[in-house]
Amino acid sequence: MKKILTGIVGSILWLQSSCLLAIPVEEIAPEASTGITEQELVKAERFMVSAANPYAVSAGYDILKKGGNAIDALIATQLVLNLVEPQSSGIGGSGLLVYFDSDNSNLTSWEGRETAPGAVTPELFLDQSGQPLAFYEAVVGGQSVATPGLLKMLHTVHQRYGELPWATLFQPAIKLAEDGFRVSPRLAALVAGDQERLSRHKATKAYFFPNNQPIQAGSLLRNPDFAETLSLLARRGIGPFYQGEIARDMVTAVRSWPGRPGLLSMADLKKYRVHSREPVCQMYRQKQVCGMGPPSSGGLTIGQALGMLAHFDLSASGPDDPHSWRLIGDASRLAFADRGLYIADPDYTTVPHGLLDAAYLHQRSRLLATDKALSEVMPGAPPGSEKDFLAQANALELPSTTHISIVDGQGNAVGMTSTIENAFGSRLMVRGFLLNNSMTDFSLRPTIDGKAVANAIAPGKRPLSSMTPTIVLQDGDPYMVLGSAGGARIIGHVLKTLIAHLDWGMPVDQAISLPHRINMSGPYELEAGTDAERWVKPLEKMGYQATVREINSSLHAIVIKPSGLEGAADPRREGAVMGD
């Protein structure tokens, strides 16, 4: 067996021989706020799990050891993540999943994005003067809660692909919720920093602030309400969540929020549907980079950027040449310009069919044939577009979310990114889990200058997402599984990691650890406390504005080679990798 531990300084668990051993509280180091610690590349022969918390990785690893497959391990891993990093994801939110089924050599993608309640109006988040609400005024409370989709998606893919019984996959999270887990430094810091908003709901406050004090790193935290919820779902399936007692409690909590009650109804939960959507793929360096299509923007935006960059020899310039980052930055800007104008729920908006058209991307790539930053970036006119009828979206996605990458011993591979949107979602806790605030992933303005916004709110509609679960294929077989957390910056995190590995030949751990340089709409964001800080002047010389800031990704990746598996977790957080 290949055993590992990876993650930021301050991880409080040691994974060894698939057992969890708690380090005494006095030995816990504070979480590093900036900088990147070096991590070892993890190698294994048969299977591997990479995710955002050691407890969760251990759960997924144990399921694989028991004969479960990648989907089984994914479900167990996600349920534990719901417990130990509740700020990021859970059954109160959504997920996007890309899966390679080795039995059929088939790549599929599954979309469990939230839907807007049936009673919403486009002006939901506008004040009396017609202006958008301040972000946290919109986020906190029942009004921001959309119909959760993650649990139904997990149940759907388990029915199709799973091998172990559904109830078995709930046992690790149930036991941990009953016995308690050690609070990570990251969770403790986030709770302390969000005390005012977390204290607005009685159940949320009682859980995160026992005895009116915020939970502390290293303390033992139990969640008996969540254990009871999971036990009910393990015994009876997802019925109680979408039609029964859990559904009634969610609706009551959302609609009884004082000030801005929400609109979620029993009918919304009952009619929620999971979609299997066609994966979005782009050829790049003799490989197929495949991800989610709309309502996720990740697959198309990554595909557009790579389609433009394919016309340049990034391997020759390398990671230390400012012009490599000029190309990457402006390709990203051009792709984000199209993203903001065109991409939304395809059941409500006609997304142009030509966003990945080779001729269109070649035309866009010619804009990059310069030595300076583009002075202005505008959306293009891909085949199938109707640009004159649309305005740029203005939704704000803040960095939260989580990602899981798994490869099993049968050759199946899965990548799933899941979220409750902003950290701690709506701050509404029901039966031990938090509800999302994904309504604020819609554009808060339905129109701008008289033009419709593609990502405007509508009943039953799914909001635009930047979640980017990705599987790279080589000769039809999976070569790499990756994804990240980070709000709209997820796309830049995944793009950088792909280029670092495929163009610059970096092992996956080095590709993940490479300091972030993110450009979405013009200004370059450089990761504080890293070597990226020295790029301010070179980038400014080429015409960019450049700012240094903390950028906290959560990349998790596995590379599949003839010699075996190689995996890594982002050292910026407390993630881990485990394989056998």
Which residues face 481 on adjacent strands?
A: 471, 558
Number of residues that this document lists for the chain = 580
Quick one: tokens of 319?
């990671």
Rg (CA), the chain: 22
* Contact criterion met (CB below 8 Å) for 417 and 485: yes
CA nearest 68: which of 414, 564, 402, 401?
414
Please tell me the distance from the alpha carbon of residue 261 to that of residue 573, in angstroms, as a whole number: 34
The string of DSSP codes covering 109-175 is EEEE--B--TT--TTTTB-TTSPBPPHHHHHSSGGGPPBP-HHHHHHHHHHHH--S-GGGGGHHHHH
* Contact criterion met (CB below 8 Å) for 291 and 98: yes
401 tagged catalytic = yes
Strands in 11-52 per DSSP E: 13-16, 19-22, 42-44, 48-51
The string of DSSP codes covering 400-465 is --EEEEEE-TTS-EEEEEEE-SSTTTTS-EETTEEPP-GGGGSBS-SEETTEEETTB--TT----B
State the residue for tokens 């009682």. Answer: 206
Strands 402-407 and 390-391 turn out to be unpaired
State the residue for tokens 């301050």. Answer: 10
In the set 156, 301, 401, 530, the catalytic residue is 401
Enzyme catalytic residues = 401
